[in-house]
Amino acid sequence: MPKITFMGAGSTVFAKNVLGDSMLTPALEDATIALYDIDGQRLEESRQMLENLNRNLGGKAKIQAYLGVENRKDALRGASYVVNAIQVGLYEPCTVTDFEVPKKYGLRQTIADTLGIGGIFRALRTIPVMLDFARDMEEVCPDAWFLNYTNPMAMLTGAMLKATGVKTVGLCHSVQVCAKTLLEGLGLPYDESVQWKIAGINHQAWLLEISRDGQDLYPKIKERAAQRSDKHNDMVRYEIMKRFGYYVTESSEHNAEYMPYFIKSKYPELIERFNIPLDEYPRRCVNQIAKWASMRDEVLLKHDLTHERTQEYASRIMEAMETNRPFKFGGNVLNTGLIPNLPEGACVEVPCIADKSGVTPTYVGPLPIQCAAMNRTNINVQELTIQAALTGKKDYIYQAAMMDPHTAAELSIDDIVSLCDDLIQAHGDWLPKYH
């Protein structure tokens, strides 16, 4: 009987998806589920919801709730799997800070959770917390697998794999929906006969191959994309595909801020041309908070609350490890020659196989040279941010920001340093002290 510990269980809807999936999986249905959070109200809401759901699904799982840092070891003790979905600093104050301080320098963002100045500081306040988790895990559940869903994925997963002995894999939603999104957006059918290969880095992995019954679909895809003239939400990705030859996994609003080409104060017309939603993540946060307030009672009190298994990877990975029935997925792991033209030790996103032996990443081979080049511009930022977090040296923060494609395209070195100092001050105790 496995034990599944969910860190950040106050993410009630996501907890329902991952843990509801587990309750519907025969190999996991009788698991002990430990819910951990530092927010008592959010934790209790998730506990109530999952107890309700468990009853309706047969009541085989055992659900426990653990509040606060003082109970964290008990939540982790004896765990087989640890699912991480924390958000350090939440929307307020930290996400607001990530957006509003850069605006004073004319630096605009869309999501700010993966790269850019917002992604850097999100990592800097999150990595120390995850390293605390790792120290506890090494003591009380050294054999557990750590399934990380928290962004910035590459920075956090890379830090865990570089600095701890915890068995870690990063999981993202974008890989499994990439091909479907592309085809359906172009009016092309998607079904099980479609085969694809994706590899690169998180949120900038490349659809290297896509075919149906052995026929390459890229020529038709590129023809349809070139003909599309309507305003839509995938315009940045179409432009990347046009210029670099391959479609990229993550959404246009994300990718707009991973490169120096799209959000530029000197060219404000690009925002309209590529339909780029500035300040998109704060808008989503506000909407999600309002939505949860309106649906809370229904979810918590609904007597017939049920669940259908989602496409989230977590339960399928855990099932594969419990049953030894292999499951293939896109995972974030350290590059050990898997993609030879990306830096050794960088966090890469490649096809992986889960089974009783754990997670085995697969060899991809070299990426197209232009795709690897683009990935490296992002990896530079990720590696320097990890170094900043692990060493406490402020210079690495400055250097990460200087190497960031979007930040460097907009600001001078002096402004970048000043911006970093302002963000350090604004975040206050949410960050450790840097020297």
Q: Which residues contact residue 184 at a Cβ distance below 8 angstroms, ignoring those fewer than 6 apart?
A: 190
Contact 193, 213 (CB under 8 A): yes
Instruction: Specify whether 203 is catalytic.
Output: no
Strand residues in 11-96 grouped as ranges (E)? 32-37, 62-67, 81-84
CB atoms within 10 A of CB 135: 13
Residue 150 has what DSSP assignment?
P
Task: Give the integer Cα–Cα distance in Å for 201 and 2.
Answer: 31
Q: Of the residues 173, 203, 232, 406, which is catalytic?
A: 173
Compute φ and ψ for 252, nearest 5 degrees: -65, -40
Which of 160, 163, 209, 153 has the alpha carbon at shortest distance from 332?
153
Q: Are the C-beta atoms of 198 and 330 separated by less than 8 Å? A: yes
- Spatial CA neighbour of 350 closest among 361, 337, 341: 361
Distance CA 292, CA 13 (A): 9
67 touches 40 (CB < 8 A): yes
Q: How far apart are the first and last CA of the chain?
A: 46
Q: How many residues does the chain have?
A: 435
Residue with token string 């479907």: 180
| Dihedral class, residue 276 (left if φ above 0, else alpha if ψ from -120 to 50, else beta) | beta
Q: What are phi and psi of 376, to 5 degrees?
A: -65, -30
H-run or E-run covering 171: strand 167-171
**Dihedral pair phi/psi, residue 332, rounded to 5°:** -100, 120
Catalytic residues: 173
